[in-house]
Structure 1
Amino acid sequence: MAVNDRLVTPKNKNGLQSADEMQLTKKDFPWWMVAIGVIIAATFWLIQVSPDFKDAFEIIRAGLGVTITTTICAYSIAVLIGLVVGLGRVSESVVWRNISTIYVEVIRGIPLLVLIFFIALVLIPGLTTALSALGSLLTDIGLEGIGAKLAAIENKSIPMNARAIISLAITYGAFSAEIFRAGIQSVSKGQMEAARSQGMSHWQAMRHVILPQAIRNVLPALGNDLISMLKDSSLVSILAVRDITQIARLYAGHSFRFAQAYSILCVLYLTLTLVLSLIVKLIERKMSNERK
């Protein structure tokens, strides 16, 4: 029920909500979400009533699985890389810290599109050639079991889908590393000192005391990185990976239905990112409430 300029929400079953939490001012209402919802609904209405839009949607949506799989796989690897490199960025080891810093600075200094080209078309072929040569060497010295397997590796053995995942993972690993570094440094230094005073080693204190708090602090930022990766996954279409961007581009090229193809492509990405954004906001709200 409206009271002046406020919308009052009912109490929860435990009656624990404060008056401020139960009231939502009209100016704070998420009108932007309503507008986006209207755009999405209008597009899907066009899909139902227009044969051209329906045809384009049926073809383009076939790439959703590749887009989602590429994003999830690359992001999972990137988080693992980021955690290791992030620990390296705050490590007491000079060697580990400098290697981690070089990796982060190099990745951050090169455009993502260029990195995808380099990793997929230069780095990975170079590694396969090196592994094949190593396999031949091992075979010559009598280690035929592992040598034969390595020697059989060819450039074509690694499909473009895998190269796309590796490229995104290596790139976003640097971004995730900075998030983890900031999260670790946000934890009070006194907690590390207290843990060390209890007889813990640096690694034990990091594992049992610092990291749990740091990871909790950086969850929203990691969620935003996932959203960014979903959008940047469209760049893997340059490797002929059949994600929704590549399929939309090919469809528009041979049918000349550019409006239909790219309108649907935009709405598909918008829908996916909106869902992820809402999930991130829910996580942020839950964490904020738990801190109170």
Structure 2
Amino acid sequence: MLVFDRVDYDYRQEKPVLRQLSFGIHPGEFVAVIGANGSGKSTAAKLMNGLLQPRKGEVRLGTLNTLNREDLLKIRERAGLVFQNPDDQFITASVLDEVVFGLENLRVPRPEMSRRASAALRAVQMEAYEDAAPHQLSGGQKQRAAIAAVIAMQPDILILDEATSMLDPQGRQELLQLLRRLHRQGQTIIHITHHMDEVLAADRVLLLSHGELAYDGPPARLFSKDTIAGQPLELPFAARLFQALDLEVPVQADWKETIEQLWAMR
């Protein structure tokens, strides 16, 4: 279980980024983290796998604590982070080398390394591009390659820090389909995003506002009129549709499912 226990963080002491942030994420959950620019989302992501350490409070992964230097390597093995810009992660000349690089650092035996790399590339449907140079890929392909490099290390938690922000709508949809597939296979996913339509794919939503936790619960309740009031959030299409028709029906992850539900109710 990943736990934030009354976490404070600031880059400059006079301007705190996170304030007394507390929550827990259980194995197998699909959690979306949202909030306005400057709300602390990316800072929280870096705290999750120990790239940053709290000024106050603790971040724990099971019995491991990011404040203990001897725990950091194990934490980063168990909590894999995919950055907003995949180019920030690429350091090798081919997609396969990129996936293998992390496994080499973990000293995975060569036969196991080959098996893991092949499985990770198949999982993201990139096996045909294993010899391609990362910089020659499309935006969506780059993100899938970056995810493959992380999931090959078999982390307990997959953390995506606005990994869809540079993708076109088709690329975002492809990445969401991949995340849903990984989640169905048992992967714990923390998806940090500013695209509200993507929130509907999650089991649970954490809303950060000025560094504090403003909401923790299911997506459908977040997008109710009472909860959303005063928050700088754009409603997903499905939520806008239900509100326009004054219907109290659970919001679905796919707006097409919403249309089908409404049609069946006629």
Could you tell me the TM-score, scaled by structure 1's length? 0.25
Identify the structure with the greater helix proportion: 1
The structure in which a higher percent of residues are strand is: 2
Q: Which has the larger radius of gyration?
A: 1
